Chain A
Amino acid sequence: MRPMRRLAIASLAAGLCVTAACAAALRQATPADAVRLAPRWPGTTLEDLQRGRSLYVRRCSGCHTLILPGAHPVEEWPGLVDGMADKARLRPGERDDVVRFLVAVASDGVDAKGR
């Protein structure tokens, strides 16, 4: 009986690990993202985008499952964030960082839906 238990546990653990390893995740901001945003938001730095990602993960996941940026067109993200900024306790500067990060990744056709 012990082998069967080990087999069941190992199968589940392996399945979860494989799923996790293959799964899309919210990618980190890159210097190329900052360059791509420059025409729209001059002066945006990589640090701004990294802060935006961190805020998005920490503040937004308390209310809903996170949505990958590519799930919505770029132009929808500012309005979506504005609609939930109060509930997520985002100050105006923080709201800007989150919007810029989401727009940066959403406008990157390659990585918008994950790694």
Chain B
Amino acid sequence: MRRVLQAVLILAVSAAAAAASERHFTYTYESGVLRPGGREIEPWNTFRLGKSDFYSRLDTRLEAELGLTDRLQTSLYLNFKAVAADTPLGRTSTTELQGISSEWKLKLSDPVADRAGVALYGELSAGPSEVEIEGKLILDKRVGRLLGALNLVAEHEWKFDEPETERETVLEVDAAACWFLTPRLTAGLELRSRTVLLPGEEPTRSALFLGPTVSYAKEGWWVAASVLPQIRALAGASDGRLDLEEHERVEVRLLFGLEF
């Protein structure tokens, strides 16, 4: 009888404590890493809709994640892109394998045990037409039912499909907060500021996105989704208050995580 009670208690604790690898936001990362030997598959889908002309894009990433040590995890991604857009030649659609990415995440402190969770993140992507490096500083804090996170992101891209190699620097600030409605279900808001710095005379493009985010987790799997409409351009407005040259009207992201 005592063993049964103990098993029930352990199950209850497991349910009440969110899994370390689950994500509660879709753009904003948290500091947790998988346990050593822990493995997870994460399919990502991001829909981006609406520019100055017709524009529809689906980015799909398939991620395999592996915990290496108590503080370090690594991932490998396959990245695909499908775009339908109006061009001077009419409406065109393309689908392509963008390339592969290698991600590394180092946890420095814990969001519950320490004043704040801190992690460093690095990602290298390479494909037939572009190479990209990305770094993030991840901060998060869990207090009771409230979870907050802030990411400072810098990335640099080299695109080879132009007559000359084109370079682009992107600075991003992602912030999010959510409330645990139940131990498994969260609802919150996510804010994303993305600034694209182009070399030469090209104007800086910057946009602010804000929208709801929800997540749900069970033993062995989790899901997170967000809808982030662009709420205003911070630089380079092209259509009233919005930047629809570089950024879309709305971004919808859906993430799954599955332990294996």
Contacts and interface: CB of A to CB of B under 8 A. Distances in A.
Interface of A: 1-2, 4-5, 8-9, 12-13, 15-16, 19-26, 53, 56-59, 61-68, 72, 76, 79-80, 82-84, 87-89
Contact of B112 (A1, A8, A13, A66): A66
A83 B10 contact: yes
Contacts of A16: 116, 139, 141, 148-150, 175
Contact of A63 (B19, B115, B146): B19
Contacts of B38: 62-63
Contacts, number: 120
Contacts of A23: 115, 141, 143
B208 interface: yes
Contacts of A66: 17, 110, 112-113
Contacts of A89: 36
Contact of B67 (A19, A24, A62, A82): A62
Given A9-B173, A25-B113, A62-B67, A84 B10 contact: yes
Given A15-B148, A68-B112, A8 B193 contact: yes
Please list the 4 inter-chain residue pairs (A to B) with the smallest Cβ-Cβ separation, ordered nearest first: A62-B35, A64-B17, A83-B10, A26-B113
Contacts of A26: 110, 112-114
A20 B31 CA distance: 14
15 contacts: A1-B233, A5-B234, A8-B193, A19-B141, A20-B116, A23-B143, A24-B143, A58-B70, A61-B112, A64-B18, A67-B17, A72-B13, A80-B6, A80-B13, A87-B35
Contacts of A87: 35
A81 to B, nearest CB: 10
Contacts of A88: 35
Binding site secondary structure of chain A = helix
Nearest to B33: A62
Interface string B173-200: 1010000000000000001010000000
Contacts of B173: 9, 12
Contact of B6 (A19, A57, A83): A83
A65 B10 contact: no
Q: Which of A15, A23, A80, A89 has the most C-beta atoms of chain B within 10 angstroms of its own C-beta?
A: A23
A35 B32 CA distance: 34
A61 B234 contact: no
Nearest to A53: B113
B235 interface: yes
